[in-house]
Structure 1
Amino acid sequence: MKEKGYDGVVPVDLSIFGKYNFLLSPESVRAATVEESSILPRRFSVPLFETLELDRGIVYEQGERHKRNKRMCIPSFEQSQSMESFVGATKAELDDLSLSFQAKANDDDSNIDLYAEMRKSALNVVLDVSFGLGKEGASNFQRADELSKTIAEYLERIVALANEIPPLWQISPRLSYNYVRVTDVVLPNLRKLVSEVIEARRLEGEEGKKKRNRADLLGVLVEQLDDNADVRLILFDVVIAGSDTTASTSTAALYLLHQDGNKEWLERARREAEETNAGRDIPLEKIRSTMPVCVSIAREVLRLYPPVPFVGRTATGSGSLLDGKYPVEPGDTFCFSPWFLGRDPTQWANAADFYPQRWLDDPTNGGAPNNFSWLPFGAGLRGCLGTRLGLTEVTLGIARLLVDFEFDFETKGPLPVKYDLTLNLDGVMNCKITSRTPRGTNI
């Protein structure tokens, strides 16, 4: 659209799919997500999401319930002590992941699906900390492994459902195996397991409560919410947001670094990782300043390959954007694309290139004239709770795996991108791993 001279807000009539207004400039995105967010409070959604219980905890609609839920969640993600719990769990999980990879690297068949492995690892961190199910958590839930496997299948099935061709769930849902599997088996089982976790936490004695850490979101929720369904929906949102973003970004970063044109960045990142002991001994508040190369790589990957390519907001009231220039009526949907904003050549130099140097030169905006050009985590009241945390987790993951392993990906060339609910690298990140050095006392 922008190549044809469009800018600002562009209305597009998609016939039976409705009329949409596309936000093409950072200024228009700021207006919709910050300045006039009260008239665009509802996340664009489809009926399937409600059936699958997606986007209903924190994400769906900005209002009193959203404010209450987000207010409860903020301390578990943004306070320093909470972030330290997450970072500690991330480092411990990376220890386990590295040991697993070391064992596979010593086998004749050392091929792995890196994306699948990173998804498992990221999910473990969320369950360990947000659910309080880790080694240091407040709860010793006996069915934790079953819960983890059920959540993993839930995520796998909803992605498969979104990718169905033809989309049987739209035509006749009961003809779709994935739809039936999710709605009849996986989701009911997941509800049951999560409800058991919630009830176990409600019955927890004082000793259990004392063991809770600041990031133990479930512990916070059971103290403040009486409705188990409300608690469950918030946890569902956190699981999806907290696992897929970290996994896809870390995997994409490692893939890009191992492409021929990026060897310089691979060497720089690995050197920094070795010099900093992969961040293992660095205090949380110093990770980003001490590891600027790995941080810049993470930010550049998020610019080019944001976890969510498209975000929509639906109006519930009347108003306008940009000082009355664009009228808004109830039911209107306004959309922006973090993918497009991150690749807009009017905002970024060499917009299509993987060039982490832009973030070393300008750590705030990467050289873009507007900080609304980089929105992998959204913006405004509806922005992601875990922005700082996600960036830190990716930085540590990149550093640790670069120190321990070489990766030889079967796929070569540009990152094979596919989006469904989020960036999906399923099945295209197979690689052979080689252990770089024996594990020493530092790593």
Structure 2
Amino acid sequence: MGIQVWYNISVLPGNKANSGDSRCGGHQISDGEEFEQFINRDFAPPLLKKQIKKDTRDLFFSRGEDWRKMRHIVSPTCSKKLRMMAPLIQESCERLNEKMSTVSNSGESVDVWKWFGLFTMEVILATAFSRDANMQRSSDNPLTKAAASVFQSTTSRSGIRRFEGLIMTLSHFPWMVWLFRKLARQSPAARSYDYLEATALKLIENRRQSMPSVDNPSQDLLQLLLEAHDEDEAGKETSGCLGNEEIVTVIIGTLLAGYETTSNALGYTAYLLALNPAIQDKLTREIQDYYDANPDASLYDAAENIDYVTMVLNESLRLYPPAPSINRDCNQTCAVSDNLVILKGVNVSFPSFLLHRNSAYWPNPEKFDPERFRPGEQSYSPYAYLPFGEGPRNCIGKRLALLEVKMALVSILKDFQFKKTTDTEVPLSLSVGLTMTPKNEIYLNILSK
């Protein structure tokens, strides 16, 4: 019988683990080499692993060489071609502003977390499929309904609790996996997932039969993945590419991974700005000054070039990271230091939430202070800040998520500001699962300038 052991550790510069003094598998290792010992994610207890067949095409849960191949192909797409998706994001930003204008200065308390959830879902569907889901105005179309069903079952607070309860049950009674798998295939969420998969496969076949229009500067994730090839270390394309089923898995995985994490980032940032009006005023001035100097700048350019927008977002992600901890399996016995040896098969948890609020690394850690992230003046340890993980297996959607949030913030704060109300919960109660979400709503007033 296997036993699952969890370690909560932080490997920071200055420790022996980063000084070339550590030994994994009996040999001395240098900076960064530890990654090979902690390459795989895993959320299943040992008994359950024997019953569940891993889908190696899934980028999030794939392991070893299967993960390495897929990541090597997908990574350039998610990091180098974001500007092509910016027009799709901007359309959703404009719809969000239209909604805000209907309640601005009315004194009505708005659940901004819910609004940002609809915005994020719309952006993900647009950037994945180039489909005008128009989620913020109406959710009455099959694709949007299917996505909403899957999102609710996998990322909602109730869905997370059910998932955690299921994992706990199956870890004690692994022989029941076959029964739960059969029942799960009949659930509304499973049928919705099948619809998304069938839709994506149909779109792929249609795209393969026709070339994209050269007159349309925007491209969705589906098109970019169809065009993606492997790259060697010199950045030259090689013959590697993704099959249809692999592309579907990447796209749907991106939908699920990016939905709640991005809406949370927007919700927490709006909340912090409402509680810190001086910082909100400074951010608004920085945005206005940029447009005064660059009146024809696109929303994408503003989001990427206003340093204070990035500083505010980074500080928000420090206080409220998308995931409260990061998990890795140790695949080879590793001596992190003279006093700490991690055995093969042990699951290690890196507690990002605790690291982000640790006074050993952050002066006055509970204070919302974007100046911590002023370019060229950062004094924090890079491994004490892990909102998207770190190393070769960090979040592949990091740049897209940051771009989406920054474009939304610039678009909103050009015309509106957030204000705390009597309905605003201070401090926020948090629900911790696969992600860290507000336990209740985030109510704020929207004021127009």
| TM > 0.5 | yes
Give 3-state SS (helix, strand or coil) of 1:312's partner.
strand
1:381 aligns to 2:384 (yes or no): no
Aligned length: 402
Deviation at 1:297, TM superposition (A): 0.8
The answer to whether the Cα contact below 8 Å between 2:322 and 2:436 also exists between their aligned partners in 1 is yes
Letter in 2 for 1:96: R
Flag the 1:42–1:390 CA change in 2: closer, same or farther, 3 A.
same
Alignment partner of 2:248 out of 228, 232, 235: 232
Is 1:273 aligned to 2:287, yes or no?
Answer: yes
In the alignment, is residue 334 of structure 1 matched against residue 332 of structure 2?
no
Cα shift at 1:254: 1.0
Query: Which amino acid in the other structure matches residue 271 of structure 2?
Result: Y
1:13-412 pair list within 5 angstroms = 18-27=4-13, 34-46=32-44, 57-79=58-80, 82-105=81-104, 110-134=108-132, 145-158=141-154, 159=156, 160-164=158-162, 167=165, 170-171=168-169, 184-204=187-207, 207-210=210-213, 216-222=220-226, 224-226=241-243, 228=245, 230-259=246-275, 262-277=276-291, 281-282=296-297, 287=302, 290-322=305-337, 326-360=340-374, 363=375, 366-368=378-380, 370-407=381-418, 408-409=420-421, 410-412=423-425
CA distance in 2, matches of 1:252, 1:281: 30
Aligned Cα RMSD in Å?
Answer: 3.9
Counterpart CA distance in 1 for 2:169 and 2:208 is 50
1:234, distance to aligned residue in structure 2 (A): 1.5
Return the alpha-carbon distance in structure 1 between the equivalents of residues 356 and 168 of structure 2: 32
Q: Counterparts of 1:56 and 1:373 in 2: how far apart (Å)?
A: 31
- Within 2, Cα distance between the matches of 1:272 and 1:168? 48
Letter in structure 2 aligned against 1:413: V
SS in 2 for 1:431: strand
1: CA distance between counterparts of 2:222 and 2:6? 37
% identical equivalent positions: 20
Q: Distance in 2 between matches of 1:36 and 1:222?
A: 33
What are the superposed Cα offsets for residues 99-122 of structure 1, whole Å, 9 maximum, x if unpaired?
12222448x784432112112212
Secondary structure class of the residue paired with 2:432:
coil
Q: Is the 8 A contact 2:150 2:189 kept in 1?
A: yes
Higher mean displacement: 50-59 or 153-162 = 50-59
Report which stretch shifted further, 184-193 or 205-214.
205-214
TM-score (norm 2): 0.77
User: Structure 2: which 5+ runs fail to align?
Assistant: 25-30, 134-138, 171-175, 228-240
Indicate yes or no: 2:442 matched with 1:429: yes
Kept in 1, the 8 Å contact 2:128–2:222? The answer is yes
Structure 1 residues 309-318 or 421-430, which shifts more? 421-430
CA displacement at 1:96 relative to structure 2: 0.8
Contact 1:300 1:359 in 2 (8 A): yes
Return closer, same or farther for 1:104/1:187 CA change in 2, 3 Å cut-off: farther
Q: Deviations over 1:251-297 (max 9, x none)?
A: 111111111xx221011112222333499953688546742222211
Out of 247-256 and 145-154, give the one that drifted further: 145-154
| 8 Å Cα contact 1:41-1:314 kept in structure 2 | yes
CA contact (8 A) 2:111 2:443 kept: yes
1:415 aligns with 2:425: no
**Contact 2:269/2:313, CA 8 A, preserved across alignment:** yes
SS at structure 1 position matched to 2:189: helix
State the distance in 2 between where 1:165 and 1:384 align.
22
Paired with 1:78 and 1:334, the residues of 2 have a C-alpha distance of 28
CA distance in 2 between partners of 1:148 and 1:112 (Å): 23
Query: Which string of whole-angstrom CA distances, capped at 9 and with x for unpartnered residues, describes residues 87-141 of structure 1?
Result: 33222211011112222448x7844321121122122222212333359xxxxxx
Is the alpha carbon distance of 1:185 and 1:388 closer, same or farther for their aligned partners in structure 2, counting shifts above 3 Å? Answer: closer
Conserved? CA contact 1:300–1:354, under 8 Å = yes
